[in-house]
A = this chain, B = another copy of it.
Amino acid sequence: MVEEQTQLAGPERNYMEGQQADEEQGNPENNSLHRPLLKRNLTLSSSPLALVGAKVSHIESLDYEINENDLFKQDWRSRSRVQVLQYIFLKWLLAFLVGLLTGVIATLINLAIENIAGYKLLVVANYIEKESYLAGFIYFTTANFLLTLVASVLCVCFAPTAAGPGIPEIKAYLNGVDTPNMFGATTLMVKIVGSIGAVSAGLDLGKEGPLVHIGACLASLLGQGGPDNYRIKWRWLRYFNNDRDRRDLITCGSSSGVCAAFRSPVGGVLFALEEVATWWRSALLWRTFFSTAVVVVVLRLSMEYCKSGSCGLFGQGGLILFDVSDVSLRYHVVDIIPVALIGVIGGVLGSLYNYLLHKILRLYNLINEKGKLHKLLLSLTVSLFTSACLYGLPFLASCTPCDPSLQEACPTTGRVGNFKQFNCPSGHYNDLATLLHTTNDDAVRNIFSTNTPTEFQYFSLTIFFALYCILGLFTFGIAVPSGLFLPIILMGSAYGRMLGIAMGDYTKIDQGLYAVLGAASLMAGSMRMTVSLCVIFLELTNNLLLLPITMFVLLIAKTVGDCFNPSIYEIILDLKGLPFLDAHPEPWMRNITVGELADVKPPVVTLRGIEKVGRIVDVLRNTTHNGFPVVDDREVPVGRQAIGERELHGLVLRAHLVLLLKKKWFLQERRKTEEWEVREKFTSIDLAERSVKLEEVGVTKNEMEMYVDLHPLTNTTAYTVVETMSVAKALVLFREVGLRHMLVLPKFQGSGVSPVVGILTRQDLRAHNILSAFPHLEKAKGSKKGQ
């Protein structure tokens, strides 16, 4: 056996080929690596590459499973009560800090946007008052152009992952997919500044999605003690140097983000629960709730402080708020019809939006892939188009005389208000300018306004709706931080209000309420959430009497939308190539076993319990797998003779092997090590380190001939399935327990049979990949659906 392995020197030969391989493969029958690599059957391998921010990244899976090797057990046993209390204290402290910082940053973002956009709009209003329309246009367009330029340059050059909402990537992270550079300090800074720039530039995007990403970034950075290069080496933090605790923190962070975006603590928790998180437990629910509570307190305090006028143009603004707690609501049976209608329209339009956005994002991906300049040009083109429309379209609307019975000032003085004078004579207002010559938040507030049944004309609303449909589709994919919530709310509220006008005297529901219901229906139709949206709208509107009617709309819109296509987040996840695992196996997965799946994969690469250094280096260089089964030899008595058999010891991670090589913990002879020997060399803190790269490790030729005892680093309790298990059930196990590798055992382990048939990873269990290897299942798929 030893001779066979010495042949394996010179490993660089197949290096590149190994890089392109799927996550696990190998050869249990003979120990030569080269042959299987050459005859590799690629049917089931799908490349672990994802398109994130239009940049192809190599993605890895996360280790949510507890790696129960000897070192872990040792560490576990030695943990004192004080250390456990430290851990618990720190868990809560971090949850508090996540809430606090998210709240503070959300306030700062709001403050910046309100002031930048506010002064910009005031200057433009002055130009228009002086009837210097062209100067106004140039000023408006230039300001927007520059702001977009800042946001876009930052995104393109420094942090491509900061573009877009970030929610799909967070969703994937919590599912176990680690998109690189998603939660770094650079991403965070670019996201904050970029979001301020993009929103101030008047683009059709919101700060809600970015805030969720900011919350998650903060959580990740806090958990690891700072940016990658300047980490605090606080000893307490070592407990958080694992994927499980980081997952919990990021869940807290994303709920805090939603909470900060909508001032909705319960809605934030539910959003994380319903849309973002894959695993959930009661303890986390509580901790998340604590974080959002902190966010709300921070927001309240800062708004209280800003009321005194010390925040420039901030005032009360910056947070969408549609307070209808004073509006009295009554339900009549006749109201069901328009409300149901809104729901149906929301479902249809929402799925249509998903469909069209999918097409446009594919087109944009083609453009973005061409290079940084193309990305920049695309963003700037959209900015110019947006500015032109926002500035020019209000001229199409006719002026409306002010209703003297209104209490509000008309035309509006100052920046915020419902009745912009624009180009109209005094005593008149331009209703389209009210919606377009303002920040998006104010536009929402204006279109949501109650007791103003005659304010908006049908024609203006139609233009507004058409404009935001176009902008909503073409703005989302550009290289700036953008959210999906606000564009959808703007579109939805427009058709809601239009429907309200169309209904006329049929119902007594306020037009502002129609706008709210329209926004809710389009969100449900596109994002397919129910409970969390319901609570968010509840907390936005501050009127519990709205609850039943909102529920009704959301249920209808989601049902209708589900008939056509999946939710927008699922579409984006798919488009980005992130291997997200769904909760439910496809029905046809019952007709295929994990054994069949393992068969079409290249044979698995196993390591011996006590392995030669040379072979480990070889295996690491020639494969890209992140886990290798460790197999032990043992003598089994059969009758009177003893047969050499191999039995499975466990699974060892690539990161640990690299660490082992780096620490040069080699043995001269083939022997088992004692526990104290290992403990001298490794701590469980070392094991959590993942940043060491194979290229950094130098192994001399002499060392290549030495041995390594893998037993102490091997996870002896890896989850296993027997090869006859159906893929459907294996998938349930994989996803529910949160695995990275799943070992497939043979049904019968006789002599000569390998103790491991294969390793399955996330990629192998994805429906798409299985179908491409087993096309006959496609037919079965076509004929039925559901459960």
A residues at B contact (CB < 8 Å): 65-66, 68, 73, 76-77, 79-81, 84-85, 87-88, 265-266, 269-270, 273-274, 280-283, 285-286, 289-290, 293, 296-297, 300, 325, 331, 530-531, 534-535, 538-539, 542, 544-545, 547-548, 551-552, 555, 558, 583-584, 587, 590-591, 593, 634, 636, 638-639, 641, 643, 645, 647-648, 650, 716-717, 719-722, 724-726, 728-729, 732-733, 736-737, 745, 747-751, 755, 780, 783-787
Contact = CB atoms under 8 A, between A and B. Distances in A.
A560 to B, nearest CB: 14
Given A717-B725, A786-B87, A266 B535 contact: yes
Nearest to A532: B285
A531 B290 CA distance: 10
15 contacts: A85-B786, A88-B786, A266-B531, A266-B534, A286-B558, A296-B551, A297-B548, A325-B325, A539-B547, A542-B545, A636-B750, A717-B724, A719-B729, A720-B745, A733-B733
B787 A84 contact: yes
A551 B750 CA distance: 60
A555 B647 contact: no
A647 B747 CA distance: 7
Nearest to A750: B636
Number of identical protomers = 2
Contacts of A535: 266, 535
A286 B530 contact: yes
Contacts of A66: 728-729
Closest 8 CB pairs of A and B: A749-B749, A736-B736, A647-B748, A84-B786, A293-B551, A636-B750, A717-B725, A542-B544
Contact of A269 (B325, B531, B749, B751): B531
A474 to B, nearest CB: 30
Contacts of A542: 544-545
B76 A590 contact: yes
A245 to B, nearest CB: 10
B289 A530 contact: yes
Contacts of A584: 281, 283
B289 A282 contact: no
Contact of A530 (B285, B296, B551, B583): B285
Nearest to A292: B551
A551 B290 CA distance: 8
B548 A265 contact: yes
Given A266-B534, A285-B274, A544-B539, A80 B737 contact: no
Contacts of A784: 79-81, 84
Nearest to A782: B81
Contact of A737 (B88, B283, B732): B732
B296 A266 contact: no
B289 A531 contact: yes
Contact of A733 (B645, B716, B737): B737
Nearest to A282: B274
Nearest to A636: B750
A530 B292 CA distance: 13
